[in-house]
Chain A
Amino acid sequence: MNSNYLIDYTSHLADNALILGHRNSEWCGHGPVLEQDIAITNLALDLIGQARNFYQYAAHLINESSQGKKQASEDTLAYLRDRHEFKNCLLAEQPNGDWAKTILRQFLLSVYQYLLYEKLQESKDRQLAAIAEKSLKEVTYHLRWSSEWIIRLGDGTEESHQRMLNAIDELWQYTSELFEPALYEQRAAEEGLGIDPSSLKLKWEEKVKEVFIEATLRYPDEISVRKGGKNGDHTEHLSNILADLQFMQRAYPNSEW
């Protein structure tokens, strides 16, 4: 029972990566230009790879703590859990909208993941530290790519600027949740295994401001409207994602490629 918080924490990190990766994968074949279609699907691939590493570890912890009574795997965790069991932040599950909204969602979460993994590399849990070290290299590219797009759109044409403003209007309400620790994050941080997300807030704001200034976008005031994702209380959008993501395994249990 003691390690439940670590299972929840690891699942939370996995869910963030999987759900954001799945959203990005929806762009496959629909990107604005071929090169960027390839770029966003490469990001999806990285994120789903990171999710697999976290899920494999979560499954290992679950099986160990149940002393063989449970048979979890990366697949059962991704395909067979219900919506209330997912612990991703609400921001990750928000629909793609237009390119500006997708880019903003990616940017806000890339800054977050970059700062988080940078610290998580020092975790006392060696596997979490290893996954963080590996993921950080990939997220560095995501951060650079998405930052450059924020600037290109924000400081671009009247229309692209307006679309960035719309995206900020829609997504900003989900940002404060990132930094409010769930109980399992608190426990994991206390034990030196995880990171207290509130400790990332100042640096996150600094980085986002730096890019927004370059992009001629005003940094919005803090609004805290929507939260709950970390504890399984999701927006309706996650149900739509899961209907798509889990359909095959639900309809044809245990089917394989």
Chain B
Amino acid sequence: MTKDQVNKESVYKLLEEVFDPEVPVLNVIDLGIVRDVVLHNEDEIEVVITPTYSGCPAMDVIAMNIRFTLATIGFKNVKITQILSPAWTTDWMSEAGKQKLKDFGIAPPTPKQQVCNEKLFAEEVIQCPHCNSWHTHRVSEFGSTACKALYVCDNCREPFDYFKCH
């Protein structure tokens, strides 16, 4: 693809090659963080993204990789705009993305109505991505990155990450 053939859909398609550095099976489209693509003129393109978490250190790397990727088809003037509202939610993650997470050994987010609230000691029922058992329990609300919690399977005894609802 060259710059002359670019339209909005083809840019979206190209952005599927930009991956989350911390969850390398998910691209930015799977994550649902690309909110808009605006082609201002033949040299200037704007990509509107929203952060998953306020302090997510992957966002700077992702923005840089979007620039690199669009540079490969000739866009030198890439504007990355960050918006905060509406706030990102795991509901925006694609079904393909959820399946990729599971195949990678990370339990995908459940629909958010479960326990995205301040109620105490509410534990989500999470399926083990390894043996599919529902017999699992939470070890910690916070995992290796802001977006994950630590679980362990009581059947196969394997620990696993859960991409928590947000």
Judge: A and B partners, yes or no: yes
The bracket for how many chain B residues form the interface is 20 to 34
Tally of contacts, chain A with chain B, CB under 8 A: 85
Name the one of A45, A53, A137, A147 contacting B166, with C-beta atoms under 8 angstroms.
A137
Chain A 28-42 interface mask (CB, 8 Å, partner B; 1/0): 000000011011001
In this assembly, does B120 line the interface, its C-beta being within 8 Å of a C-beta of chain A?
yes
Name the one of B85, B119, B166 contacting A133, with C-beta atoms under 8 angstroms.
B85
- Cα–Cα, bound, A39→B153 (Å): 20
| Interface SS of B by simple majority | loop
Instruction: Specify which chain A residues have a CB less than 8 angstroms from the CB of B141 in the assembled complex.
Output: 39, 141, 144-145
- Cα–Cα, bound, A50→B146 (Å): 13
CB under 8 Å from chain A, chain B span 41-86? 51, 53-57, 83-86
Check if A134 sits within 8 Å of B142, measured CB to CB: no
CB under 8 Å from chain B, chain A span 115-171? 126-127, 129-131, 133-138, 140-141, 143-145, 147-148, 151
Check if A42 sits within 8 Å of B142, measured CB to CB: yes
Q: State the Cβ distance, A124 to closest chain B Cβ, in Å.
A: 14
- Cα–Cα, bound, A133→B166 (Å): 12
- Cα–Cα, bound, A157→B51 (Å): 41
Check if A50 sits within 8 Å of B55, measured CB to CB: yes
Check if A114 sits within 8 Å of B118, measured CB to CB: yes
> Which residue of chain A is the closest to B112 with respect to CB atoms?
A137
Q: List 17 A-B contacts (CB under 8 A).
A: A38-B140, A39-B141, A46-B55, A48-B55, A50-B54, A53-B54, A126-B85, A130-B84, A134-B51, A135-B54, A137-B87, A137-B166, A138-B54, A140-B116, A143-B118, A144-B118, A151-B120
Q: List the 8 closest A-B pairs by CB distance, nearest first.
A: A49-B55, A49-B54, A130-B85, A35-B140, A39-B142, A45-B55, A130-B84, A42-B142
| Residues of A bordering B, CB below 8 Å | 35-36, 38-39, 42-43, 45-50, 52-53, 114, 126-127, 129-131, 133-138, 140-141, 143-145, 147-148, 151, 211, 214
